């Protein structure tokens, strides 16, 4: 694999915890609306609202907060007290302030590959929120480029790796989402490396592309440098 | 001015209408809460919420919607009915779907300069929303680069024009906001061109830098090509 020149890393739940904070907010949402609906029903309605609103809001905490508010009104048939809505607004804002928790091996792995490859951070979500997390992570200086995108598609990977490297076929994308990080990168002709996280938003699920020759699955991010050596050797 | 190589255009209220839709939503907000507070008081509280939340939400419609909801709860001391909150969520979503109305001369001006200069679109706001508006505007193909940023600062202009051109001192930024488009660009050493819009969000106000040698003020965007010729001649 002498041809590999660029490696893109997903951010949320690849380099640092993210879904954990959504799950904590889910629990808070369920507790606040416990008088109106059972937790399972609430989560199903919230997920439906998130999917329905994705085309309007895109990914990120602000859209998630608006979907929580919409769901709270919906399941209570507009009987939810404004104080509960205020709590949901506050819950969303606390998510926007949560401290960054790097995942094991994140810094070491990016450090080991930075300099040897063009190393990019490629993430979706709210612009300001992702910038804040990158700044707090302390990893900012390790990346040759940062791309915050509205969608991760084969086209967006082709465009990003053409601009930052020598094209997607000489590039690799590493992330916890089969749907966003792996499958479209394989479609773009590059390498797709799946590093599963114990918590992954169901929207990010996809069938594992086990037969794709450029697909790799690693149990831990820290295995990436050795895997690259094996592929090159 | 033989040295000018790149021109950045702001998007909202420079190339297409934007603040107009915020004002329509302000009116709707005031009407929905007319039983609780006078319009002037409501707008003052909403503006205060927007400023307070800017560091959390950044610019854009999703954050504005959350600020409307927060203000509605605040001014009613949490007595606002959930149905009104639902109307505010709907108002925000309608803003995200409003059709693009190009401002007079927008297409002609960008077309006239595209090819002669590196022409960039530089805007802040929600990523997905700005992408949608650019796609709907039909102007996408005219730009050599599109930058959606969380803040417009001297640093962000220096970085963008270093990446896309030959530095800010050989670049010009054109927009309706003295605070975001003109003043930081002048600070970065470039040209700042103010094209006022009849409606400008008060956050975007700044003192007019009349003494700055690289400051220009044009009544209409369509005057830009002639102004460039005069500067070059």
Q: Is residue A65 part of a domain?
A: yes
**pLDDT of the residue at A154:** 98
**A221 shares its domain with A114:** yes
* Per-residue exposure over B183-217, b if at least 16 CB sit within 10 Å of its own CB, e if not: bbbbbbbbbbbbbbbeebbeebeeeebeeeebbbb
> What's the domain count of chain B?
2
**A133 shares its domain with A117:** yes
**pLDDT of the residue at A198:** 86
Residue of B nearest to A68 (CA): B89
Residue length, chain A?
A: 233
User: Measured between CA atoms, how close is B133 to chain A, in angstroms?
Assistant: 12
**A42 shares its domain with A53:** yes
Q: Is residue B148 part of a domain?
A: yes
**A141 shares its domain with A225:** yes
pLDDT in tens, chain B (233 residues): 458 999 999 999 999 999 999 999 999 999 999 999 999 999 999 999 999 999 999 989 999 999 999 999 999 999 999 999 999 999 999 999 999 999 999 999 999 999 999 999 999 988 889 999 999 999 999 999 999 999 999 999 999 999 998 999 999 999 999 999 999 999 999 999 999 998 877 787 888 998 999 999 999 999 999 999 998 87
Contact A66 B97 (CB under 8 A): no
Last residue of a domain, one of B97, B129, B147: B97
ipTM of the complex: 0.90
| Domain around A196 | 6-17+101-232
- φ/ψ (deg, to 5) at B109: -70, -45
Query: In chain A, which residues touch B (CB < 8 A)?
Result: 53, 56-58, 60, 62-63, 65-66, 69-70, 72-73, 76, 78-83, 85-86, 89, 92-93, 96-97, 126-129, 131, 148-150
* Per-residue exposure over A57-95, b if at least 16 CB sit within 10 Å of its own CB, e if not: bbbbbbbbbbbbbbbbbbbbeeebbbebbbbbbebbbeb
* Per-residue exposure over B31-47, b if at least 16 CB sit within 10 Å of its own CB, e if not: ebbeeebeeeebbebbb
Q: Is residue B138 part of a domain?
A: yes
Q: Among candidates A138, A106, A111, which has minimal Cα distance to A222?
A: A106
**pLDDT of the residue at B199:** 81
- Chain B residues whose CB is inside 8 A of the A155 CB are none
Last residue of a domain, one of B52, B67, B97: B97
C-alpha B102, offset from chain centre: 14
**CATH no. for residue A215?**
3.40.50.1000
**pLDDT of the residue at A202:** 76
Quote the tokens at residue A71: 């769901």
**CATH no. for residue B38?**
1.10.150.240
**A59 shares its domain with A147:** no
Tell me, letter by letter, the H, E, C secondary structure of B37-81.
CCHHHHHHHHHHHHHHHHHHHCCCHHHHHHHHHHHHHHHCCCCCC
Q: Which of B53, B62, B86, B95 is most worth mutating to test chain A (most A CB atoms within 10 A of its CB)?
A: B62
DSSP, collapsed to helix, strand or coil, labels residue A85 as helix
The answer to whether residues B127 and A148 touch, using CB atoms and an 8 Å cutoff, is: yes
- φ/ψ (deg, to 5) at B214: -100, 20
d(CA A96, CA B123): 22
DSSP, collapsed to helix, strand or coil, labels residue B8 as strand
Residues of chain A with pLDDT under 50: 1
The answer to whether residues A199 and A29 touch, using CB atoms and an 8 Å cutoff, is: no
d(CA A208, CA A201): 16
Q: Using CB atoms, which residue from B76, B86, B126 is nearest to A73?
A: B86
**pLDDT of the residue at A177:** 95
d(CA B185, CA A131): 21
Give the angle B124-A141-A124 at the CA atoms, nearest 5°.
40
Q: Is residue A218 part of a domain?
A: yes
**pLDDT of the residue at B1:** 46
């Amino acid at each position: 694999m002498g041809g590999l020149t660029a490696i893109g890393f997903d951010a949320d739940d690849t380099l640092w915890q993210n879904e954990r904070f959504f799950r904590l907010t889910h629990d808070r949402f369920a507790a606040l609306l416990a008088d109106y609906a059972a937790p399972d029903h609430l989560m199903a309605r919230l997920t439906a609202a998130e999917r329905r609103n994705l085309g309007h809001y895109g990914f990120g905490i602000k859209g998630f907060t608006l979907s929580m508010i919409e769901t709270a009104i919906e399941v209570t048939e507009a009987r939810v007290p404004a104080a509960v809505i205020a709590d949901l607004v506050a819950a969303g804002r606390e998510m926007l302030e949560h401290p960054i928790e790097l995942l094991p091996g994140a810094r070491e792995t990016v450090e080991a590959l930075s300099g040897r490859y063009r190393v990019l951070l490629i993430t979706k979500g709210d612009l300001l929120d992702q910038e804040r997390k990158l700044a707090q992570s302390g990893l900012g200086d390790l990346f040759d480029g940062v791309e915050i995108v509205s969608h991760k598609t084969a086209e967006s990977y082709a465009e990003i790796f053409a601009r930052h490297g020598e094209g997607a076929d000489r590039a690799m994308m590493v992330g916890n989402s089969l749907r966003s990080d792996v499958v479209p990168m394989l479609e773009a002709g590059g390498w797709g490396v799946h590093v599963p996280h114990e918590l992954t938003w169901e929207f990010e699920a996809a069938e594992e592309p086990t037969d794709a020759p450029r697909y790799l699955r690693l149990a831990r991010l820290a295995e990436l440098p050795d895997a690259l050596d094996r592929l090159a050797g």
